Amino acid sequence: MVKGLLSSKDNMPKVIVTDKDGALMNAAGTVFPETYTMLFFFHIGNNVRAKCITNCKVHPKPPKGAIVDNKELKKNREVVEKVVITWRELVESPTEESYSSNLLKFKEVCMPFSEFRAYVETTVFNLKEKFVRSWTNKVMHLGCRTTNIVESAHGVLKKYLRSSVGDLASCLDEIHKMLVVQFGEIQGSFGRNKTVLEHKYKSIKMMRELEGYVSRRALKFIYDELKRSKTFAFDKEDCGCVQKTSYGLPYACIIAMKSKQKLPLVLDNIYPNWKRLCVQGEGIDDDFSVMEEWNGIQERLKTNPYNMKLYIKEMMR
């Protein structure tokens, strides 16, 4: 049904994020075979932590009615936290090399807990390409690595519906009210992206051509990469180029190179998603043309001295 609602092949999703629901994962892979299916790492982490609390104990659970030693409880908590910390480092590994190193560390910490180790190896590690950063960083996901957006939208919808027993007409009416409000919020957001520029960007010459044409979130990503570019040379190994592969935005090593050459960042460097500042269909005009302006420039060039012609050509370029 979702595929049927998409108007063309160009609208097919590049990434689908799900929880670890086998039926949903299989269906997504079948209906969208060319789409990268990603898992929400938060739910996996919660499951790993819960299993760790159950199985990673230095001291076994005391019998019912026995006196509990606080020191033993503290040691058990420390073990769980140590395992969880090494797990997070493993999931956030930026490269496959760092993943291999963190995996050895994780296995070493989990060595005394064979049952927990077996659980992780049989149910989690076989899906590592779907949620570990060293693999998901190679995918154009635009920062959507979780299902939070959908869950949040679901929560808003339930507030409008208020009850699960409403009739079709009243439900449609409430859904319409919700969409009207959301449409207004989106329009307001687009307006702020076009007109409001944060003070910290105003002094950065290389970002001036992006003002009012890309989203503020994209500007923040670029600004963060700009700061990071000042901490290393032009080596791609230091950069990682994640912002290019996952977000479609200028990345630290290219920003460092442009900064050295005093070149601006241009709109061609930005993935189309970040330049979409109007609701789809709004402002589209099939008759849009710049021929009148172009012809005017051509006429002006004929009457200008040679140096002025060179100057105009350079400005246009």
In tens, the pLDDT along 103-131 reads 999 999 988 888 888 899 888 888 899 99
Whether residue 58 contacts residue 72, with contact meaning beta carbons closer than 8 Å, is answered with yes
What are 2-48's pLDDT values in tens digits?
888 887 777 788 899 998 888 998 999 899 998 999 998 888 888 89
So where are the chain's domains? Answer: 2-136, 148-195, 199-275, 287-317
Q: Cα(287)–Cα(107) distance, rounded to whole angstroms?
A: 63
Q: CA separation (Å) from 18 to 24, 169, 216, 258?
A: 8, 31, 27, 38
The token pair at 257 is 């190179």
Q: What is the pLDDT of residues 80-108, one digit of tens each?
A: 899 999 999 999 998 889 999 999 999 99
As a whole number of Å, the CA-based R_g of the chain is 27
Two tokens at 164? 């699960």
Q: Could you read off the pLDDT of 258-310 as tens digits, one per residue? A: 888 888 898 988 998 899 888 765 555 567 788 888 888 888 888 888 888 88
Phi, then psi, of 144 in degrees rounded to 5: -90, 85
Q: Rounded to the nearest 5 degrees, what angle is found at the Cα of 53, between the Cα atoms of 49 and 59?
A: 150
Residue 96 CB coordination number (10 Å): 13
What is the SS3 assignment for 310? helix
Own/partner contacts of 200-209, CB < 8 Å, gap of 24 or more, are: 205/264, 206/255, 206/258, 206/259, 206/262, 206/263, 206/264, 206/265, 207/264, 207/265, 208/264, 209/264, 209/265, 209/266, 209/267
Buried/exposed 61-89: b ≥16 CB within 10 Å, e otherwise: eeeeeeeeeeeeeeebeebbeebbebbeb
Encoded amino acid at 290, one letter? V
Identity of the residue numbered 215: S
State what percent of residues in the chain have pLDDT above 70. 91
